[in-house]
Chain A
Amino acid sequence: MSWEIVIGLEIHVQLATQSKLFSGAKVGFGAAPNTQTTLVDLGMPGALPVFNEEALRLAVMFGTAIDAEIGKRSVFARKNYFYPDLPKGYQTSQMDDPIVGLGHIDIQLEDGTTKRVGVTRAHLEEDAGKSLHEDFDGMTGIDLNRSSTPLLEIVSEPDMRSAKEAVAYMRKMHAIVTTLGISDGNMAEGSMRCDANVSIRPRGQAEYGTRTELKNINSFRFIERAINIEVERQIDILEDGGSITQETRLYDADKHETRSMRSKEEANDYRYFPCPDLLPIVIDDDYINTIRAQLPELPDQRHARFMEAYGLSSYDAGVLSASRTMADYYEVVQGACGDAKLSANWVTGELAKYLNANDVDIDNSPVSAQQLGQLLTRIKDDTINGKAAKTVFEELWNGAGEVDAIIAAKGLKQVSDMGAIESMVDEVIANSPKQVQQYIDAEPAKRGKMLGYFMGQVMKASKGAANPGQVNGMLKNKLDAMC
């Protein structure tokens, strides 16, 4: 049987505020346990929440960016469940009246087409604390620094039909939230986490199959792997005549399997009700329109502009516009050297290679955009050739100083002095009588290829510093004159 995969994603985005959603405690990753808490975050009786206006602004900004309906009157609700890292016994969230309603984003598929994916809603909620299960005298340790950290939960429609589409959706969401600056999007630190609702149905069937929810997927790579392994599991069950149980499952990256997290009899029953400690949030059109007017250039717009203004391929433009920092970096390089294609090649090539190999974000690149722009300028003005540029780049990466100083110190300046090149060319020709004879005997059409040997010898003689274009032209003239 041919199965159709149906996927919806719930993405939790940590909003980039200074203080918490409901208290004046600092938000920040990696602080000593319980040093960023107040009575509100600890859930002490009588401690009342006061809502952070910046969280509201960032949520509305997201809503306007995905062309969504904005809730002019949104309401906080209590989602009730017991867990020690949630000391209040409920999570303050939104249910019936979320801040962001129906919207959509466009994702680019591998075949180059664009697909629209619906966003059902996005609501504000607080994060819980962290449980540490290492053994503390047989007890569990609780760190409440993360308690009440503002989250935006973005819920998609079940519009995705493959794991690859789910990854493309997640990547586009990442590009949007980082471009807007509403989150740092750091998945390793949990600033962006994803749950996937996955079901399958026989191709052509209108009703959805029973879904399972895969929890807490924290990298782009794991989204694809977790969904694919879960789909395989569901197909195996259905093709063996079994049925899927609606449940929450955890993806175990080490074992590459999904396993059930909660038993059926404890099926979620959150008993939502409006939070009596918080009043409805009311905003007007002026508020929304002011935010809409301040939206930065969004990834899709930047993608289109990179193709239009710089003549880049859709692929290069897509890679470069995938995050705001990458796109900003590229534009500085491009502005400095004036060559869009060369800049794209270096940013997506050499720079990306070093960033990946050293696991460094582009905003922490040891080679600044200005430095790379200067380096490419030196290729453009024939000071150095491409090979030498890679050496300079490595030196820049290792903090050896500025471009021109490195070129001088390493003696990488390209030899464009015609006299110097000519004497090297003459010497190579004089020392290669056999190859010269082969060149003379060859069909004229085949001679071009045979230049390679002489090129290599001259470049070697110049220690790589000769201008390859000049060497090539001079060799050709001299050898052809001998034929």
Chain B
Amino acid sequence: MALDNADILKIAKLARLQVNADQVDDYANSISSILDLVDAMQKVNTEGVEPLANPLDTHQRLRTDAVTADNKRDAFLAIAPKSEAGLFLVPKVIE
């Protein structure tokens, strides 16, 4: 499966990655070659094989429902670029 340059720009936008115009061809080629490998794997007969959600052959351990964390707001806000009134501040979001 081959990706064209428009696909690369769309993926980059969804992932919020900046891709320079002169790199788009390279990305299209290298990601397409990864998808070629996937195509090869798709040809394997997987009938009767359960889809794999995680390579570890075990299941999720559960946590007891209890409040175990203290309020560490001051420490968390201290490493934020900007904060005010207990809030993290980020560039204005306009919906």
Contact = CB atoms under 8 A, between A and B. Distances in A.
B89 A141 contact: yes
A23 interface: yes
Interface in B52-95: 53-54, 56, 58-69, 71-73, 76-77, 82, 84-93, 95
A138 interface: yes
Looking at chain B, what size class is its interface with the partner chain?
35 or more
Given A19-B66, A23-B69, A269-B14, A34 B60 contact: no
Contact of B63 (A52, A132, A139): A52
A281 interface: yes
A67 B59 CA distance: 26
Contact of A141 (B16, B64, B88): B88
Contacts of B65: 17-19, 52-55
B41 to A, nearest CB: 16
B86 A32 contact: yes
Contact of B67 (A26, A42, A55, A73): A26
A142 B59 contact: no
Interface in B1-18: 14, 16
A59 B65 CA distance: 14
Contacts of A37: 69, 72-73, 76
B92 A140 contact: yes
A42 B87 CA distance: 12
Contact of B68 (A19, A36, A143): A19
Given A34-B76, A56-B62, A279 B56 contact: yes
Contacts of A42: 76
B82 A139 contact: yes
A258 B68 CA distance: 43
Given A32-B86, A50-B63, A282-B60, A138 B14 contact: no
A83 interface: yes
A68 interface: no
B90 A24 contact: no
B89 A281 contact: no
Most buried by A among B76, B77, B87: B87
Contacts of B59: 73, 279-282
A84 B93 contact: yes
Contact of B71 (A35, A52, A133, A279): A35
Contacts of B90: 84, 139-140, 142
A75 B62 CA distance: 14
Contacts of B91: 139-140
Interface string A58-83: 00000000000000010100001011
Interface string A124-159: 000000011100111111111000000000000000
Contact of B58 (A23, A33, A55, A279): A279
A261 interface: yes
A274 B53 contact: yes
A425 interface: no
Contacts of A346: none
A33 B87 contact: yes
A143 B87 contact: yes
Interface in A86-118: 96-97
B19 to A, nearest CB: 16
A461 interface: no
A136 B84 contact: yes
B93 A18 contact: no
B92 A261 contact: no
A278 B14 contact: no
Nearest to A38: B69
A144 B73 CA distance: 10
A24 B86 CA distance: 20
A133 B58 contact: no
Interface string A311-332: 0000000000000000000000
A51 B54 contact: no
Contacts of A143: 86-87
A70 to B, nearest CB: 15
A104 B84 CA distance: 47
Contacts of B77: 34
Contacts of A36: 71
A81 B77 CA distance: 24
A271 B15 CA distance: 10
Given A24-B69, A35-B71, A280 B89 contact: no
17 contacts: A19-B67, A37-B72, A38-B69, A51-B63, A52-B65, A96-B51, A97-B53, A131-B93, A136-B85, A137-B89, A139-B90, A140-B90, A140-B92, A141-B87, A141-B88, A142-B88, A280-B60
Interface of B: 14, 16, 51, 53-54, 56, 58-69, 71-73, 76-77, 82, 84-93, 95
Please provide the 4 A-B residue pairs with the shortest distance between their CB atoms, ordered closest to farther.
Answer: A24-B68, A141-B87, A54-B65, A53-B62
Given A25-B67, A84-B93, A142-B89, 18 more contacts: A19-B69, A24-B66, A26-B67, A34-B88, A37-B76, A51-B62, A53-B62, A73-B59, A83-B93, A139-B82, A139-B90, A141-B87, A143-B86, A143-B87, A144-B88, A274-B53, A278-B54, A279-B61
